[in-house]
Amino acid sequence: MFTLAEVASLNDIQPTYRILKPWWDVFMDYLAVVMLMVAIFAGTMQLTKDQVVCLPVLPSPVNSKAQTPPGNVDVTTNVPKMEATTDQDQHERVTSDISFDTSAVTPDIPLRARYPHPDPTVPNQEAKKEKRDPTGRKTNLDFQQYVFINQMCYHLALPWYSKYFPYLALIHTIILMVSSNFWFKYPKTCSKVEHFVSILGKCFESPWTTKALSETACEDSEENKQRITGAQTLPKHVSTSSDEGSPSASTPMINKTGFKFSAEKPVIEVPSMTILDKKDGEQAKALFEKVRKFRAHVEDSDLIYKLYVVQTVIKTAKFIFILCYTANFVNAISFEHVCKPKVEHLTGYEVFECTHNMAYMLKKLLISYISIICVYGFICLYTLFWLFRIPLKEYSFEKVREESSFSDIPDVKNDFAFLLHMVDQYDQLYSKRFGVFLSEVSENKLREISLNHEWTFEKLRQHVSRNAQDKQELHLFMLSGVPDAVFDLTDLDVLKLELIPEAKIPAKISQMTNLQELHLCHCPAKVEQTAFSFLRDHLRCLHVKFTDVAEIPAWVYLLKNLRELYLIGNLNSENNKMIGLESLRELRHLKILNVKSNLTKVPSNITDVAPHLTKLVIHNDGTKLLVLNSLKKMMNVAELELQNCELERIPHAIFSLSNLQELDLKSNSIRTIEEIISFQHLKRLTCLKLWHNKIVTIPPSITHVKNLESLYFSNNKLESLPVAVFSLQKLRCLDVSYNNISMIPIEIGLLQNLQHLHITGNKVDLLPKQLFKCVKLRTLNLGQNCISSLPDKIGQLSQLTQLELKGNCLDRLPAQLGQCRLLKKSGLVVEDHLFDTLPLEVKEALNQDTNVPFANGI
Determine the 3-state secondary structure of 849 from DSSP: helix
Owning domain of residue 9:
4-56+158-185+312-391
Residue 586 per-residue DSSP state: T
Residue 365, pLDDT above cutoff 50: yes
CA dist 540 and 524 (Å) reads 19
pLDDT at 228: 43
Q: How far apart are CA 377 and CA 28, in angstroms?
A: 9
Query: Residue 135's CB: how many other CB atoms inside 10 A?
Result: 9
| Cα diameter, the chain | 177
Residues 506-524: what's their mean pLDDT?
A: 92
Q: What is the pLDDT of residue 108?
A: 39
Q: What DSSP string runs through 501-526?
A: TT-EE-GGGGG-TT--EEEEES---E
Q: Does 77 have pLDDT greater than 50?
A: no
467, 516 in Cβ contact below 8 A? Answer: no
The pLDDT, as a whole number, for residue 324 is 84
At 430, which amino acid appears? Answer: Y
Q: Tell me the pLDDT band of 200, cut-offs 50, 70 and 90.
A: confident
Q: Which residues contact 384 (CB under 8 A, 6 or more apart)?
A: 312, 313, 316
504, 481 contact by CB (below 8 A):
yes
C-alpha torsion sign, points 290, 296, 299, 301 = negative
| pLDDT digit string, tens, across residues 79-90 | 333 333 334 343
Residue 475: the pLDDT is 94
- 853 vs 678: which has the higher pLDDT: 678
Task: With respect to residue 126, please indicate whether it lies within any of the assigned structural domains.
Answer: no
Position 141 in a domain = no
The full length of the chain comes to 858
| Tens of pLDDT, residues 257-280 | 333 333 333 333 333 344 566 777
Check pLDDT > 70 for residue 26: yes
Interatomic CA distance for residues 210 and 460, integer angstroms = 30
Structural domain includes residue 178: yes
Strands (E), 5-100: 52-57
pLDDT at 516 over 80: yes
Is 353 within a domain? yes
pLDDT for 243: 39
Write down the pLDDT at residue 487: 92
404 has a pLDDT exceeding 50: yes
pLDDT at 74 over 50: no
Q: What is the CATH number of the domain that holds 27?
A: 1.20.1440
CA separation (Å) from 456 to 412, 461, 475, 485, 591?
38, 9, 15, 6, 37
The more confidently predicted of residues 114 and 798 is 798
pLDDT level of residue 287 (50, 70, 90 thresholds): confident
Q: What is the pLDDT of residues 368-401, one digit of tens each?
A: 888 999 999 999 999 999 989 888 888 888 888 8
pLDDT class of 327 with cuts at 50, 70, 90:
confident
Q: Burial level of 615, CB count in 10 A (0-12/13-18/19+)?
A: middle
Per-residue model confidence as pLDDT tens digits over 601-643? 887 778 778 888 999 999 998 888 887 888 888 888 999 999 9
Q: What is the pLDDT averaged over residues 94-121?
A: 39
Q: What amino acid occupies position 453?
A: H
* Residue that wins the pLDDT comparison between 628 and 115: 628
Least confident of 230-244, 281-295, 489-503: 230-244
Of the spans 84-88, 110-114, 350-354, which averages the highest pLDDT? 350-354
Let me know if 132 is exposed, middle or buried by CB neighbors in 10 A (0-12, 13-18, 19+). exposed
Helix (H) or strand (E) holding 617: strand 615-620
Any domain includes 332 = yes
Please check whether residue 168 lies inside any domain of the structure: yes
- Identify whether 775 is part of a domain: no
Would you place residue 742 in the very low, low, confident or very high pLDDT band (cuts 50, 70, 90)? very high
pLDDT at residue 750, as a whole number = 92
Q: Is the pLDDT of residue 69 over 80?
A: no
% the chain with pLDDT above 90:
34
State the Cα–Cα distance between residues 233 and 39, nearest whole angstrom.
Answer: 74
CA atoms within 13 A on the CB side of 275: 3
Domain count, the chain: 1
Considering the chain, what is the average pLDDT of its residues?
79
Mean pLDDT (whole number) for 320-337: 82
Q: Is residue 561 part of a domain?
A: no
* Confidence band for 6, pLDDT divided at 50, 70 and 90: low
> DSSP characters for 688-751?
EE--SS------GGGGG-TT--EEE--SS------GGGGG-TT--EEE--SS------GGGGG-
Q: What is the pLDDT of residues 417-470, one digit of tens each?
A: 899 998 888 888 888 888 888 888 888 788 788 888 888 999 999 999 999 889
d(CA 220, CA 714): 72
Nearest Cα to Cα of residue 556 among 520, 522, 530 = 520
Kindly state the average pLDDT of the residues 4-11.
54
Q: What is the mean pLDDT of residues 700-719?
A: 93
Most confident of 403-417, 569-583, 630-644, 757-771: 757-771
| Phi/psi-derived region of residue 249, left when phi > 0, alpha when psi is between -120 and 50, beta in every other case | alpha
Q: Is the pLDDT of residue 212 over 90?
A: no
pLDDT classification of 734: cutoffs 50, 70, 90: very high
Strand 394-395 versus strand 662-664 pairing type: unpaired
Write out pLDDT tens, residues 141-179: 778 888 888 888 888 888 888 888 888 888 888 888 888
Among 687, 709, 688, 685, residue whose Cα is nearest residue 698: 688
On the question of pLDDT at 97 being above 70, the answer is no
